Amino acid sequence: MTTTLTADIRWSIPTSLSLKEGTNTGQACFTVPSGITVLIGPSGSGKTTLMRMITGLSDITAGKLTLQGQNIAALPAYRRQIGYVPQSPTLFPHMSVRANILYGAKKDTDISFLVNELSLPDLLDRKPSSLSGGEARRVAIARALVSSPRLMLYDEPTSGLDPVKRASTLSLIRTVSRNHNVPAIVSTHLIDDMMPIADYALLMDNQSVVLEGSLEDVLDAPETTEVLGLEDGGSLIAAQITGEDNGLIEVSLGGQPLWLSGASRTTGDHVHMRIRARDVAIAKDRPENISINNCLAVTVQDLKPASTETIVTMLVAETDTVLKARITQKSATALALKPGDACFALIKAVAVWHRED
């Protein structure tokens, strides 16, 4: 993968109106490849600030920003060619949707393909005030793409959307990034959202980029679990579909079947699954007559106490697939778990994403 953006920057933002009262200093040092990069971090961790530094709307105090080999740190925002879709769509209220889309376009730009791609044909002559939130967001995306950006930045594109619209917005981002061959950075505090679209990940905490790497590596890292809180701890597993039955699909992990609900998948497809630690229970013996479909033989690798709970790291038998479970310390004591124990992981729910690559 080619390098899109390298950053080694520091910034400082006043936190109060009175001068010199307090400043938030932040720093980031990372390299983003082509494709889609997700910027993960809790609310207030500085994701929007970092995006504004990259667009040039806020100033950095020191450092270097290199976009496709060009140092852009000294360029004003309007000469950086970076498309920015902020959290609220911010359409120009006095212009039609068409005029909004064409705002950053060169003369005689043909927008028909993009307009169809984003299902906007019927909206072109409307005024922004008559659009729904999702429509406005699609217009904002089209408007940024038409300005021929070298990089797209999406700030929390799924905030305020229901789960169905979230999924469609994300697949749209992936589609347009591919079709127009524009790398993108997408920020979110909802980690589950980004899984189906991201290739690379940056983890942000307390005004700094603390970790970068492939999505899998970043999600597996203990820092991520810690920064995002236990709720989001879990494991990411890649697998291939081996069968279907009654609307469920089957994947195989080291010969053990795992049944997932996932319509419109076909045998042979590659999927990514995220199994959250809180959705995994542990049994010493294989339970019989139980509603949970999925029961995998595992070996306990490690136990880590976390406040009143214990995070148990396990290896699925015959594989190097890691699974995590979050159980109460009481249960951990009752089961007398220790590394090397063979037991069974009961999985209540699995989130599945389909990726073409």
Partner 1 sequence: MITPAEGQALWLSVKVALVAVTVALPFAVFVAYAFARWSFPFKSFLNVLVHIPLVVPPVVIGYLLLVTTTPTSKFGGWLSDLGLNPSFTWGAAAIASGVMAFPLMVRAVRQAFESQPIALTEIAETLGASRYRRFLTINLPLAVPGILTATVLGFGRAIGEFGATITFAANIPGVTQTLPLALYTAAQSPGGEEAAFRLTLLCLIPAVISLITSEWLTRRHYFRNEQR
Burial class (CB in 10 A: 0-12, 13-18, 19+), 313: middle
Tell me whether residue 78 or residue 113 sits nearer to partner 1 (CB atom).
78
Residue 131 sits in the site that holds partner 1 (CB under 8 A): no
Which residues lie below 8 Å from residue 166, measured CB to CB, with a gap of 6+?
158, 193
Total residues contacting partner 1 by CB under 8 A comes to 28
CA distance 97 to 140: 9
Q: Is 55 in the site for partner 1 (CB under 8 A)?
A: yes
Q: Which residue has the tokens 């080694």?
A: 8
Q: Provide the H-helix boundaries in the chain.
A: 47-55, 97-102, 112-117, 133-146, 163-179, 191-194, 215-220, 222-228, 329-335
CB of 84 to partner 1, least distance (A): 4
Instruction: Give the CB-side neighbour count of residue 184, counting CA atoms within 13 A.
Output: 32
Candidates 6, 31, 88, 329: give the one binding partner 1 (CB under 8 A).
Answer: 88
159 binding partner 1? (CB under 8 A): no
Q: Does 11 bind partner 1 (CB under 8 A)?
A: no
* Residue from 73, 144, 298, 332 binding partner 1 (CB under 8 A): 144
CB of 144 to partner 1, least distance (A): 7
Stretch that binds partner 1, among 24-32, 84-92, 294-302, 345-353 (CB under 8 A): 84-92
Distance CA 194, CA 202 (A): 12
Region 64-83 residues binding partner 1, contact defined as CB under 8 A: 76-83
- Cα 47 to its chain centre, rounded Å, is 13
Mask: binding to partner 1, 107-126, rule CB under 8 A, as x and -? ------------------xx
Please select the residue that binds partner 1; options are 93, 121, 268, 340, rule is CB under 8 A. 93
Minimum CB distance to partner 1 smaller for 109 or for 333: 109
Cβ proximity of 312 and 282 under 8 Å: yes
Rule CB under 8 A: say whether 143 interacts with partner 1. yes
Burial class of 353 by CB neighbour count within 10 A (0 to 12, 13 to 18, 19+): middle
Residues that bind partner 1 (CB under 8 A): 55-57, 76-84, 86, 88, 90, 92-94, 103-104, 125-127, 129-130, 143-144, 147
